[in-house]
Structures are given as structure tokens and as C-alpha cells.
């Protein structure tokens, strides 16, 4: 179950990666910082998959990302850098607003001041697991008393990664956005921050609790799973990556439809419409959206648009 939940929300979870868990009263609980980098970080080569869609006057590159990476992974070179440099515009899942704006958007949906507390909403069997996870992360359980399950699950997915040394600042979106600013490229979002948070906050309560329960159960496998995902991404293996990111989709058809399939279909339509405008565009979205059945690549094929893998 977690394979679906944690991989499917990776894109929206990125919006929360820079936030500390917060008390409903406005206090901020301490969030684990990324592990300090070694004095010399060994550079490891990575060649993630890259696709291209073309017509007579438009070129659109499709690049799948993993939103948080460890420092030292060399991916922004060779074919990826060449495609980016040739592009006039960068398109991301969303354009990250300033921290204060993002925090306001998230916290407006993350807490409820009425009704039972989070610990009361959890099944009794999950309560000790939840309290133990919070203790291991150094977060007072009271920090999430009034939080919605989606917000807690997202934080409990991200914070262990940060403890392992994964960092949004090393993620492709951050690197590409900085490069676009340097080169004065236009930057556009396929979605707004409000939309991305809305996908999570709008999940039925039952689904949110399932998400949190499955996250708790899978915490011990966080390092193994993430390392496997990054390895598959680094060697440009979308088939293996799809197994990591999209395994278990049948467990929750509603969630898969909301967070993956419907968005993939909308993005494919966006690409189709963008082909009517001349220019070169570099699109970077979570790799799970470009892998497996009903991916953006498959949706484009249904629209009779061919996406070719770029060899580099």
C-alpha cells in the first residue's frame, strides 16, 4: 500500500519539504536537518531518462525527477544539460512560492481545531508505532495533535529522508529553477501550489488515515526503498523505477486516479496544446508520472503523439 501512497504524493510532498511540522497554535516543532555533508562529497555519475516530443516548429523535452537527492549525484550534464540549454522555457509541476506563502497555503489545510485529535483517530494498534516514530524523529507528539492525516503522513515520509542526507536543495527542481533564473528562462507551473495541496487535503478521511497507517508501517524500509528508486532513476531505467513508484496502484483506485492518472492525462493535453506554439520547452515532473501504465508517455501515445527516448 505504501508503494502507491508515498510515491504518488512525492510531487505534492515536495511543497512541504522545507516546512517544519507546526503546532496549531503557530509554534514550530524542530524538524531533523539533513545529515551534514562529508568534507569531500564523492561525485557519482547519473544518466536519468529523457524523452522528446517534436513537430515542425516545436520541441518539448520530458524529464523525470526525484524531488530530493543526496549531494554529489551528477545528473545535470550531458544530454540533460544540452536539452535544458536549448530550451526557452522551464515547466515544472508547480512554481515554488516564497516560504511564507507556501506555509500559509499548507497550514490553511493542514489543521483542524475541532473534533478528535490525531492520536484518537488512529486505530489503537497504530498508536504506539506513531508515538515511537515521532520520538525517533525528535518531534513532540503534540505538534500534530490537530493535524490532518495527510500532513502528518507527508512529513513522516520526508523527515526520515532528510535525516539520511536527502535534501530538496539537491533535487532537480531546485537546481533547474536556479539555472533558469541564471539564464533568464521563463518558468511555468502545470499546477498551482493551492491545487497540489488541495489534492492531498481533499482526500477522504478514510484514505488519509490509510495513507498515514501505511507510512508508519513502511518507515523501517525508507532507506532501502529510496536508495533503490534513486539507483533506478540514475541509470535511466523507467521500467524498474515504475515498479518502485507505482507498485500497488490497484490497492486504492481513487487515490491513483486523483494523484496520478488524472494529472497525467491533463499534462498530456497541455503538451498537445503546447505543440501549437513554436519554441523549445523543458518539462520536469516527478519520474513516477513518466513511468508505467497511464503515464504521461502513454497518454501522449493515446493522443497519437510520439515521445522518443533521447539517447545520450
Q: pLDDT tens across 230-272, in order?
A: 999 999 998 898 888 766 566 667 778 888 899 999 999 999 9
pLDDT at 203 over 80: yes
Phi, psi of 138 (to 5 degrees): 75, 30
Query: Residues 297, 63, 91, 67: what is their CA dihedral angle, to the nearest 10 degrees?
Result: 110
Whether residue 134 lies inside any domain: the answer is: yes
Residue 2 has pLDDT above 80, yes or no: no
What is the per-residue pLDDT for 11?
34
pTM to 2 decimals?
0.87
pLDDT of the residue at 263: 95
When pLDDT is cut at 50, 70 and 90, the band that residue 103 belongs to is confident
Q: What is the pLDDT of residue 230?
A: 94
Which are the contacts of 133, defined by CB distance < 8 A and separation ≥ 6? 156, 216, 219
DSSP letter assigned to residue 38: P
* Residue 176 near residue 90, CB atoms below 8 Å: yes
Let me know if residue 56 belongs to a domain.
Answer: no
Domain with 137 in it: 2-32+68-309
In a domain, 223, yes or no: yes
pLDDT at 193 over 50: yes
The predicted model gives 282-306 an average pLDDT of 94
- 40 domain residue, yes or no: no
Nearest to 245 by CA among 257, 258, 233: 233
Phi, psi dihedrals of residue 122, rounded to the nearest 5°: -75, 145
Residue 109 inside a domain? The answer is yes
* Number of compact structural domains in the chain: 1
Mean pLDDT (the chain, rounded): 86
Q: How would you label 280-310 residue by residue, b for 16+ Cβ within 10 Å and e otherwise?
A: bbbbbbbbbbbbbebbbbbbbeeeebebeeb
Cα–Cα distance measured from residue 38 to residue 57, given in angstroms and rounded to the nearest whole number: 46
* Torsion (CA) 170, 176, 182, 184 in degrees, nearest 10: -160
Asked whether residue 53 is domain-assigned, the answer is no
Whether 27 has a pLDDT exceeding 80, the answer reads no
* Between 225 and 251, the higher pLDDT residue: 225
Task: Note whether residue 22 is domain-resident.
Answer: yes
Q: What secondary structure letter does DSSP report for 30?
A: -
Quote the pLDDT of residue 15. 41
Q: Which helix (H) or strand (E) holds 191?
A: strand 186-191
Residue 13 — pLDDT band, cuts 50, 70, 90? very low
Using the predicted structure, report yes or no on whether residue 20 has a pLDDT greater than 60: no
Whether 4 has a pLDDT exceeding 90, the answer reads no
Report the alpha-carbon distance of residue 255 to residue 9 in Å, rounded: 10
Amino acid at each position: 500500500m505504501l508503494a502507491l501512497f508515498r510515491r504518488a504524493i512525492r510531487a505534492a510532498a515536495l511543497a512541504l519539504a522545507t516546512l517544519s511540522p507546526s503546532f496549531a497554535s503557530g509554534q514550530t516543532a524542530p524538524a531533523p536537518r539533513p545529515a551534514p555533508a562529508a568534507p569531500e562529497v564523492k561525485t557519482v555519475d547519473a544518466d536519468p531518462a529523457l524523452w522528446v516530443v517534436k513537430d515542425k516548429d516545436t520541441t518539448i523535452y520530458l524529464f523525470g525527477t526525484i524531488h530530493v537527492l543526496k549531494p554529489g549525484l551528477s545528473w545535470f550534464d550531458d544530454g540533460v544539460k544540452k536539452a535544458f540549454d536549448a530550451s526557452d522555457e522551464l515547466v515544472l509541476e508547480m512554481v515554488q512560492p516564497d516560504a511564507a506563502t507556501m506555509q500559509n497555503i499548507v497550514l490553511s489545510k493542514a489543521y483542524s481545531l475541532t473534533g478528535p485529535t490525531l492520536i484518537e483517530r488512529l486505530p489503537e494498534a497504530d498508536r504506539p508505532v506513531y508515538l515511537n516514530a515521532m520520538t525517533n524523529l525528535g518531534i513532540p507528539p503534540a505538534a500534530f495533535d490537530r493535524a490532518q492525516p495527510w500532513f502528518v503522513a507527508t512529513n513522516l515520509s520526508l523527515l526520515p529522508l532528510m535525516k539520511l542526507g536527502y535534501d530538496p536543495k539537491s533535487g532537480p527542481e531546485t537546481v533547474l529553477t536556479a539555472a533558469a533564473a541564471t539564464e533568464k528562462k521563463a518558468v511555468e507551473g502545470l499546477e498551482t501550489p493551492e491545487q497540489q495541496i488541495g489534492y492531498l487535503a481533499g482526500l477522504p478521511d478514510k484514505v488519509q488515515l490509510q495513507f498515514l497507517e501505511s507510512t508508519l508501517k513502511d518507515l523501517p524500509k525508507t532507506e532501502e526503498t529510496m536508495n533503490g528508486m534513486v539507483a533506478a532513476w540514475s541509470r535511466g531505467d523507467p521500467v524498474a523505477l515504475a515498479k518502485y513508484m507505482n507498485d500497488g496502484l490497484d490497492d486504492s483506485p481513487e487515490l491513483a486516479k486523483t494523484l496520478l492518472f488524472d494529472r497525467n492525462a491533463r499534462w498530456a493535453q497541455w503538451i498537445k496544446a503546447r505543440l501549437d506554439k513554436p519554441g523549445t520547452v523543458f518539462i520536469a515532473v516527478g519520474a513516477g508520472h513518466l513511468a508505467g501504465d497511464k503515464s504521461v508517455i502513454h497518454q501522449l501515445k493515446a493522443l497519437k503523439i510520439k515521445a522518443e527516448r533521447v539517447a545520450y
